[in-house]
Amino acid sequence: MKIIVCLGNVPDTTTKVKFVEDNTKFDAAGVQWVINPWDELALTRAMELKEDSGNSVDKVSVITVGGKNTEPTIRKALAIGADDAVRIDLNPEDSYVAAYQMAAYLKNEQELHIVFAGTESSDYNGAATGGMLAELLSVPSISSVSGFELEGDKVRISRDIDGGTEHLLVDIPMLAIVHKGIAKEPRIPAMRGIMMARKKPLNVVPPSDVEALTEIVGFELPGSKPPCKMIDVDNAKELIDLLQNEAKVL
Amino acid sequence: MAVLAYMENWDGKFKKSSFELVSYANALAELLETNIIVLSLGPVSEDELSKLGNYGARKIITVPDVLFKTLDNQVFSKVISVVAVNVGAEVILFSHDNAGKALAPRVSVSLKAGLVSGATGLPLSVDPFTLRKKVFSGNSFARQIIKTDKKVLTLAKNSIEVKENRGSVEIEVFQPDVQAGDFKIHMEDVQKQTGKVILTDADIVVSGGRGMKSPDNWGPIEELADLLGAATACSRPVSDEGWRPHQEHTGQTGKIIAPNLYIAVGISGAIQHLAGVSSSKFIVAINTDKDAPVFEAADYGIVGDAMKILPELIQAVKEMNAS
Ligand SMILES: Cc1cc2nc3c(=O)[nH]c(=O)nc-3n(C[C@H](O)[C@H](O)[C@H](O)COP(=O)(O)OP(=O)(O)OC[C@H]3O[C@@H](n4cnc5c(N)ncnc54)[C@H](O)[C@@H]3O)c2cc1C
């Protein structure tokens, strides 16, 4: 059985975000790119499942929609342990285009088992690609997944809800949209993995023809906020007074 | 033409975010000179449905079938799409919460309607249909155009004032062509926190970071939260260490929250932490380090030892509550 992990390439989360061309483009100059944090957790969980001899996962593949600039991120995923990778050669304009490209590719798979997608990408925060992909592939999707166990040809899922967790049983094929909790810590590639990653297959495929449904036309940085009002430590109680009478939130 | 708002229920009840969504739908319908229709899936009493009428809902379509008690993304989005077509919906609205994020992308694909997720207000313009949303985990905003005739939106929390607009409500029961076998997701059991304020709903949140030093020091955080009717939260290392449950982890990779008041105690204010709380109306920071970045995001700050300051705040809140 195979697990396919959707992989996003995003600016490092500490990036000081800037825009160029009259605030219409993200300034990628000097930016460090990383695997989207949730996709990294998804990949980690996929590797754990593959290594667990108690189930039949024997392959983990990653898939990305992106230009050549995403290859270091893909190699990192291979170094973490993915067996092979596909890059669909296009910079997607929106979540729909990304999902459409992956669906067009995955429809050619002989058999689809399990797909992992992260809950959102940390750059455009679309929270959409996984759900769109599932709809395009006509498979069930489960969101807010914080636990994933295999049990024969079924999947046992923990799904977070407001103020609790649901335990669900789902058939394969399925797509899991994962977030915090799915794996404890993202894996860091080991030296051996980095060496092996160079020889693993990274297939580049041409994109399909599709039009975006949305377009980002501009960016704004948040306005500056008034400075923090400091309260003397010897008069901490004043804080409660200010919250009650000035901010009016108590 | 219509604006269709999908109204999630929690065990048959609506929440403040539901009323926000109805208020938004109402304002949007006014802007587009059309009417609003609310869709509710699963058993909800007539009384509860009627509450939506206080915020502008005039027509509610309800599917009371108990099968719809468990969220199945595929089935739910199919039914929403069918209703959207039946009523000729031009815009389909969701809250930007677990259910909204699960359903909106599927509805977007099935209707070939462009999706903007996490919109922070009414459209900046109707033609082209342009919305503002947060990007880069709250570090900036984007203006995004939907190019298709039909549109799907999820609305970020705290994006619009809940506005009363009372009137009579027409409730229509709809039975979609769905069988038990269409549900591919089987609920085994649910674990729920009881008696605690739910973090994503809370108006006030008291949050502790690594500066609390040990899980044994959480007493004053919990006491302060209790007194304020607040939820408790924490930074990522605190949940990674197992000091607090992972449901409390706030920030970019944890929960994104937007309370009226966020009190950050012993939290340095890393960019990834702030990404999850920067939409709070007011932020209070308590930290021994006067240069901690959290003070740049905060509205009120105290430099000092949390273990000394928290008991004083607790005392002050007790006095406030007593008066
Ligand atoms: C990809 C990625 C994603 C991340 N996502 C998140 C996320 O979602 N959420 C998150 O929180 N972090 C996240 N992080 C981690 C983040 O970068 C910080 O490491 C983390 O937020 C720091 O937690 P902290 O503020 O509790 O601890 P620290 O940074 O160690 O800060 C502790 C603070 O406590 C103060 N302090 C010490 N003693 C006292 C005292 N007695 N009284 C008062 N103050 C005291 C110190 O001055 C210090 O400012 C992420 C990191 C990465 C790389």
Subunit contact B108:A128, Cβ cutoff 8 A: yes
What confidence tens digit (pLDDT) does each residue in B216-231 have? 999 999 999 999 999 9
**CA-CA distance, B130 to B145, in Å (whole number)?**
4
**CA-CA distance, B84 to B97, in Å (whole number)?**
20
B174 C-beta neighbours (distance < 10 Å), count: 16
Considering the four listed CATH numbers 1.20.910.10, 3.40.50.300, 3.40.50.1220, 3.40.1550.10, the one that applies to the domain covering B199-322 is: 3.40.50.1220
Q: How far is CA B178 from CA B4, B108, B196, in A?
A: 20, 20, 36
Same fold, B2-182 and B199-322: yes
**CA-CA distance, B82 to B80, in Å (whole number)?**
5
A53 to chain B, closest Cα gap in Å: 25
Homologous superfamily, domain B2-182: HUPs (3.40.50.620)
pLDDT at B323 over 90: no
Domains, chain A, ordered by start: 2-219 (3.40.50.620)
Are the beta carbons of A75 and A61 closer than 8 angstroms? Answer: no
Is residue B237 within 8 angstroms of chain A, CB to CB?
A: no
**Closest Cα to atom 17 of ligand 1:** B270
Q: Which H or E run contains B148? A: none
Would you tell me which residues 51-110 of chain A have a C-beta closer than 8 angstroms to some C-beta of chain B? 94-96, 99
Q: What is the mean pLDDT of chain A?
A: 96
DSSP character at residue A50: H
| Residues of chain A with C-beta less than 8 angstroms from the C-beta of B265 | none
Tell me what pLDDT residue B216 has: 98
Closest CA to A20 of A30, A33, A10: A30
Which of A30-34, A139-143, B31-35, B198-202 is the least confident region? B198-202
Are the beta carbons of A144 and B102 closer than 8 angstroms? Answer: yes
- Confidence band of B201 (pLDDT split at 50, 70, 90): confident
Subunit contact A216:B142, Cβ cutoff 8 A: yes
A83 to chain B, closest Cα gap in Å: 26
What confidence tens digit (pLDDT) does each residue in B59-74 have? 999 999 999 999 999 9
Q: Which amino acid is at A93?
A: E
Mean pLDDT, rounded, for B233-238: 97
Tell me what pLDDT residue B70 has: 94
Is the ipTM value over 0.85, yes or no? yes
Q: Which residues of A79-101 are buried (b: 16+ CB within 10 A; e: fewer)?
A: bbbbeebbbbebebebbbbbbbb
Displacement of CA B70 from its chain's centroid (Å): 19
Are the beta carbons of A155 and A173 closer than 8 angstroms? Answer: no
Pairing of strands B2-7, A114-118: unpaired
The ranges assigned to domains in chain B are 2-182, 199-322
Subunit contact B136:A161, Cβ cutoff 8 A: no
Place of tokens 């636990």: A147
Within 13 Å and on the Cβ side, how many CA atoms surround B123?
21
What confidence tens digit (pLDDT) does each residue in B144-166 have? 999 999 999 999 988 999 999 99
Tell me what pLDDT residue A117 has: 98
**CA-CA distance, A49 to A43, in Å (whole number)?**
10
pLDDT at A110 over 90: no
Strand partners, B170: B59
| Residues of chain B with C-beta less than 8 angstroms from the C-beta of A216 | 142-145
B106 to chain A, closest Cα gap in Å: 5
Q: Which amino acid is at A125?
A: N
Would you tell me which residues 213-242 of chain A have a C-beta closer than 8 angstroms to some C-beta of chain B? 213-222, 225-226, 228-233, 236-237, 239-242
Decide: B305 in ligand 1 pocket, CB within 6 A: yes
Those residues whose C-beta lies under 8 Å from the C-beta of residue A101, and which sit 6 or more positions away, are A65, A88, A90, A92, A207, A208, A210
Subunit contact A236:B304, Cβ cutoff 8 A: yes
Would you tell me which residues 167-196 of chain B have a C-beta closer than 8 angstroms to some C-beta of chain A? 184-193, 196
B46 to chain A, closest Cα gap in Å: 24
Quote the tokens at residue B234: 């924490």
Place of tokens 């300034």: A27
DSSP character at residue A40: H
Strand partners, A88: A65, A205
Place of tokens 């004053």: B220
A169 burial class (0-12, 13-18, 19+ CB within 10 angstroms)?
Answer: middle
Q: Which H or E run contains B321? A: helix B306-322
Subunit contact B137:A228, Cβ cutoff 8 A: no
Mean pLDDT, rounded, for A74-102: 98
pLDDT at A48 over 90: yes
Are the beta carbons of A40 and A95 closer than 8 angstroms? Answer: no
- φ/ψ bin of B215: left (φ > 0), alpha (ψ from -120 to 50), beta (otherwise): alpha
What confidence tens digit (pLDDT) does each residue in B261-318 have? 999 999 999 999 999 999 899 999 999 999 999 999 999 999 999 999 999 999 999 9
Tell me what pLDDT residue B234 has: 98
Subunit contact A164:B193, Cβ cutoff 8 A: yes
Chains A, B: CB contacts under 8 A, how many? Answer: 272
Are the beta carbons of A144 and A160 closer than 8 angstroms? Answer: yes
What confidence tens digit (pLDDT) does each residue in A179-198 have? 989 999 999 999 999 999 99
Quote the tokens at residue B32: 């587009």
Tell me what pLDDT residue B296 has: 95
DSSP 3-state of B71: coil
pLDDT at B96 over 90: yes
Three-state helix/strand/coil letters over B285-318? EEECCCCCCHHHHCCEEEECCHHHHHHHHHHHHH
Q: Which residues of A183-213 are buried (b: 16+ CB within 10 A; e: fewer)?
A: beebbebeeebeeebeebebeeeebeebebb
Radius of gyration of chain B (CA): 21
Closest CA to A165 of B242, B189, B231, B73: B189
Q: Which amino acid is at B248?
A: E
DSSP character at residue A22: T
Q: How far is the CA of B215 from the centre of ligand 1 (A)?
A: 15
What confidence tens digit (pLDDT) does each residue in B162-200 have? 999 999 999 999 999 999 999 999 999 999 877 789 998
Say what percent of chain B tops pLDDT 90: 92
Tell me what pLDDT residue B139 has: 78
B177 burial class (0-12, 13-18, 19+ CB within 10 angstroms)?
Answer: exposed
DSSP 3-state of B171: strand
